[in-house]
Amino acid sequence: MTDLYTRHQAVLPDWLALYYEDPIEITHGEGRHVWDAKGNKYLDFFGGILTTMTAHALPEVTKAVSEQAGRIIHSSTLYLNRPMVELAERVAQLSGIPDARVFFTTSGTEANDTALLLATAYRRSNQILAMRNSYHGRSFSAVGITGNKGWSPTSLSPLQTLYVHGGVRTRGPYADLDDAAFIDACVEDLKDLLGHVRPPAALIAEPIQGVGGFTAPPDGLYAAFREVLQQHGVLWISDEVQTGWGRTGEHFWGWGAHAASGPPDMLTFAKGIGNGMSIGGVVARAEIMNCLDSNSISTFGGSPVTMAAGLANLTYLLEHDLQGNARRVGGLLVERLRAVAAQFGGVREVRGRGLMIGVELVEPGTDRANPRAAAAVLEAAREEGLLIGKGGGHDTSVLRIAPPLSLTVAEAEEGASILEHALRRAQ
């Protein structure tokens, strides 16, 4: 154990989750690689937990940050702030939400918190619909709408939350149905729920559940939900913290796979847009965003240094069509991983969209989650120079692959080969 780990354990909370038996101290990065304090180099298939949207140490972002920091770091929404207005204009336009207003926060948690504030104020209801197995952050209100109980440490939420079926396609009561019947069953379930409660403020959902193990419903589920929600005036909030900015390849936002009934009323974002700098935010239709009847400010939301990073990062993403790259390279990687998985009895499914790929591990020959194998694969991959993530429901048995979106075909191949070895070693 390193000295830093001992000091970490002595002073930081026990519940602060850390990867690896001998945790890594990352000291620098470049492109799709990072290095640890011992000088080991890793291919990064987890993008600093999805925060590195484009590439590590992207020169364009570093330059924008240092130039802005050299001018002023001062932050307050009480004054006009050019980078904040510019990024808000671009995000509003990209959001797909009509008459969009943008509010910047410093994290995904705070973004969801703000969306809850807006929805409950707009609808005068503290009742929220959330998905089973969901993750929405670590604040008091965010854990209150987090269905994944491994990440929801209190039940004393100020919100009344009702959990809805449908976020997980391959497990649960409707898993054996085909896609259309699955959607019908979930919609009937939602209708039944709405028939028995006061009208809720909103439904919040991740289009693909991130912490929950990169699991998604069939395309169109949220469009079908939206029709029912609209009959009751219930808002739809799409939590795009992991699925935004083209990561899923086919769509710029995860809600794009559920667009038949129009865009969501609000979306929340964070993680990747700052390439590691702390940017989160909410986009909402103006009538919802402006429903608060007293002032509000944010000291650090929209800080000019983070906004400069966001602008440079977004420009790079769009100019280099990294969404297209996610689609192409992600498609090849899924195919390659499916071929790898076919050799092992313990892989239940390789699923994915773009560069958001899950590999679900089970006890060979059964349907039982295998968290022990997932932990062993993570350790083995790390030893061979590959960082990946893990997630899932109550059992953390899904390997999560989410590299920076500039991943090359050669790097995808290299990572898949390492994963193949790691799976073999962990058998």
CA gap 4, 334 in Å, rounded: 37
Q: Which residues, numbered 78-107, are part of the site for ligand PMP (CB under 6 A)?
A: 107
Position 411 contacts ligand PMP (CB under 6 A): no
211 binds ligand PMP (CB under 6 A): yes
Helix (H) or strand (E) holding 35: strand 33-36
Minimum CB separation of residue 246 from ligand PMP in Å reads: 16
Choice between 305 and 340, CB closer to ligand PMP: 305
Q: H or E segment at 352? A: strand 347-353
- Using Cβ positions, the residue closest to ligand PMP within the complex turns out to be 108
**Burial class of residue 28 (count of CB atoms within 10 Å of its CB; 0-12, 13-18, 19+):** exposed
**Tokens representing residue 97 in the block:** 């939400």
Closer to ligand PMP by Cβ: residue 241 or 388: 241
Q: What x/- string results for residues 272 through 311 when contact with ligand PMP is judged by CB under 6 A?
A: --------x-------------------------------
Burial 147-160 (b: 16+ CB within 10 A, else e): bbebbbeeeebebe
Least Cα distance to 262 among 230, 240, 215, 291 occurs for: 230
Residue 270 binding ligand PMP, by CB under 6 A: yes
Q: Is 109 in the site for ligand PMP (CB under 6 A)?
A: yes
- Is residue 360 part of the contact set for ligand PMP (CB under 6 A)? no
Q: Where are the alpha helices (DSSP H) in 238-296?
A: 286-289
Total of residues contacting ligand PMP (CB under 6 A)? 15
Kindly state the smallest distance separating residue 106's Cβ from ligand PMP, in Å. Answer: 8
Interface of this chain with ligand PMP, residues 5 to 34, rule: CB under 6 A? none
Q: Return the half-sphere exposure (C-beta side, CA atoms, 13 A cut-off) of residue 265.
A: 23
Structure tokens at 401: 């692959």
Q: Characterize the bridge pairing of strands 356-361 and 33-36.
A: unpaired
Q: Minimum distance between the CB of residue 249 and ligand PMP, rounded to whole angstroms?
A: 18
Residue 241 touching ligand PMP (CB under 6 A): yes
Task: Indicate the pairing of strand 386-387 with strand 41-44.
Answer: parallel
Q: Which residues bind ligand PMP (CB under 6 A)?
A: 107-109, 112, 135-137, 206, 210-211, 239, 241-242, 270, 280
